[in-house]
Structure 1
Amino acid sequence: MKIAISGGTGFVGKRLVEKLKRLGATVFVLTRGTEKTVDGVQYITWMNGKHTIPELEGIDAFINLAGVSLNEGRWTVARKNDIFKSRMDTTNEVLRIFDSLSARPKVYINASAIGIYPTSTTAIYTEQSVEVANDFLGRTVSDWEQKALQAEQLGIRTCLARFGVILGRDSGALPLIALPYKLFVGGTVGSGEQWLSWIHVDDVCEAILHLVNTPELYGPINFTSPNAKRMKQFGKIVGNALHRPHWLPVPSLALKLALGEKSQLVLEGQYVVPEKLLSSGFQFKFSSLEDAIIDLYKG
């Protein structure tokens, strides 16, 4: 199997590349860095005006994980512009590459986010939900998905992987959530009633491979555990795993002052169900948050 990945040096991308190598796949990573081959993985420079990338002829799947991180830096006007523009620019380049190929990939998996759904403490969202959040994240994800879906016009099965809060020990949201507990000042964030739809990074990689190998899946696909947790429950589970108390509340106002608009990532949330993954037979390795946190902090 031949698979190309943009964003292959990021949090999810690195884990996915390692998994594909173990499975014996031929992996191409599109990078802005130097072209090289390392441990069998070919790194190809892109976003540099190169008209064609012949190595991508006849690949089985293209996975687009590229984009400026939501978790880094304060959401200034300039930062938000970078977040939006990076996603649109890389997706435009992916589409241009597809158009240049005579043998196009069988499937295109484009990263997306559950931030497309409006925040709510009562609603439950599946891929059938059509509501779109009228905020920066909602508008960004909606425009990004509409751009990615243009690949369908080229005859390519297109999947929109709507990532929830991805949990990894050293990257993603978990280190930020766990830090107060490590300092013995952990507690409920905001009201604590907000939902956190999470997923273990290993399940993200497995679900991506599931999309590659399941031709009937296309369109929006929620990448979340079947068991979302309210923030107050999530915090207690993290505290227990780290053997730290869950006692010092973090007021919403303090987070808004510290993080600005980005505070919505932890102060607001959605209950999102991975209906398509479940109905297509995907089995989560970590459907329990307790098991996921224990796995990430074991050893």
Structure 2
Amino acid sequence: MTILITGATGLVGQELVGLLLQNGHIIHYLSTSKSKLVTNGNYKGFYWNPKTSEIDINSLENVDVIVHLAGASVAKKWTNSYKEEIIESRVLSTRLLYQTLQKNHHQVRQIIAASAIGIYPDSLDAIYHETDLDIDDSFLGNVVKQWENEVSQFEKLPIIVSKIRIGIVLAKNGGALQEMAKPIKLGVGAAFGSGKQYQSWIHIHDLASIFKFVIDYKLPGIFNGVSPYPVSNSELTKAIAKTFGKPLFLPNIPQFAMKLILGEMNEILFSSQHVSCRKLLDENFQFKFASLDKALTDLLK
């Protein structure tokens, strides 16, 4: 099968590309950087620029499935101009893919788009499922709403539309875990705020496997890309410290302090989303790293 991937050189993209190539698929990928375009066996790069609506049509040749991961990182300071970039990078890229399929002959049967659990409202009590319709009244909630609305347009084509709402991705080579681990490794780690906020996490291997699973079984709709066992921020901090054999003795870091450092972006650390992956389990998806201890041992040791 030929699969077109956007965001293929990012953290999740690289993991997914590796998994799909191992399984004999041909990968086409779109990049805004001409220096990142390579052709190497079953891995072939094509140029696009969503800001100027440029896209190499050859990227669609023989493509059966599109996996859309592209989007500016939310882990950079949210200035007004950068907030615009976060939204535009998702909306414009999705729109360009849609318009390109609409105008050109193609054989695409499915699009699977990344989304985020940031769409769910901040709550210490609720457990969220894919059927919940309330949207968080925050910048991230608004980003995900706009992003998913654009992806829904593909249903008009008509092709199978799938959305993976991704939790906190735990990985070896970057991402949230490595940032959390740095102060803990130095013995100066601490939980954020009350520490009670839920953090729905996923090991990067399992996340890539979820995308592959949704491709293999042509599953439509929304799926929460999280492990079966979300934890509180305190539990996550303690588990990382335990993996390193480091003590935790500092008081929790108050929100006002992080607001001074990070500005509005501090909400990523303090909002609480307890998210269920029951829908995936009901489809018989098998997690390799369901427990946090197993995930951390794999990634940090």
TM over 0.5: yes
Taking the TM superposition and a 5 Å limit, the aligned residue runs for 1:29-108 are 29-34=29-34, 35-47=37-49, 49-50=53-54, 53-71=57-75, 73-108=76-111
Q: Tell me the equivalent position of 1:186.
A: 189
CA positional deviation for 1:101 = 3.4
Q: Which moved more, 1:231-240 or 1:18-27?
A: 18-27
Q: Which one is further off, 97-106 or 244-253?
A: 97-106
Contact in 1 for aligned 2:4/2:59 (Cα 8 Å) = no
Counterpart for residue 24 of structure 1: 24
Does the aligned pair in 2 maintain the 1:2–1:59 contact within 8 Å?
Answer: yes
CA contact (8 A) 1:52 1:100 kept: no
- Which residue does 1:253 correspond to in 2? 256
Q: d(CA) in 2 for partners of 1:121 and 1:76?
A: 28
Instruction: Tell me how far apart the structure 2 counterparts of residues 289 and 3 of structure 1 sit (CA, whole Å).
Output: 31
Counterparts in 2 of 1:95 and 1:191: CA distance versus 1, 3 Å = same
Instruction: Write the deviation string for residues 171-196 of structure 1: whole angstroms up to 9, x where unpaired.
Output: 11111111110121112211100000
Structure 1, residues 175-234: CA drift from partner, whole Å, max 9, x if none?
11111101211122111000000000001100000000123x222210000100001011
* Deviations 1:85-132 (CA, angstroms, capped at 9, x unpaired): 111111011112221332331110111000000011000000011111
Which residue does 1:173 correspond to in 2?
176
* Pair 1:14-2:14 in alignment: yes
Amino acid at match of 1:31: S
CA offset at residue 170 of structure 1? 2.4
Using the alignment, how far apart are the partners of 1:88 and 1:11 within structure 2? 20
Report the CA distance between 1:54 and its aligned residue.
3.1
Pairing 1:136-285 to 2, within 5 Å after superposition? 136-215=139-218, 217-248=219-250, 249-285=252-288
Structure-2 separation of matches of 1:94 and 1:65: 12
Q: Distance in 2 between matches of 1:232 and 1:55?
A: 45
2:190 counterpart SS class: coil
Aligned residues of 1:121 and 1:193 also touching (Cα < 8 A): yes
CA RMSD of aligned residues (A): 1.4
Q: 1:283-298 maps to which residues of 2 (within 5 A)?
A: 283-298=286-301
Amino acid paired to 1:113: A
Give the percent of matched residue pairs that are identical in Structure 1 and Structure 2: 36
Query: Which segment drifts farther, 254-263 or 30-39?
Result: 30-39
Mapped pair 1:115 → 2:118: yes
Runs of 4+ in 1 over 4 A off after TM superposition: 48-52
8 Å CA contact 1:58–1:104 kept in 2: the answer is yes
Query: Could you tell me how far 1:27 is from its partner in structure 2?
Result: 0.4
Secondary structure at 2:67 match in 1:
strand
Segment of structure 1 superposing worse, 160-169 or 94-103: 94-103
CA drift of 1:7 comes to 0.5
Give the 3-state SS of the residue equivalent to 1:46 in structure 2: strand
**Displacement after TM superposition at 1:50 (Å):** 4.2
Tell me if the contact between 2:168 and 2:202 (Cα under 8 Å) persists in the aligned partners. Answer: yes
Instruction: Between 38-47 and 13-22, report the one with greater CA deviation.
Output: 38-47
Structure 2: distance between partners of 1:32 and 1:54: 15
Q: CA deviation at 1:55?
A: 4.0
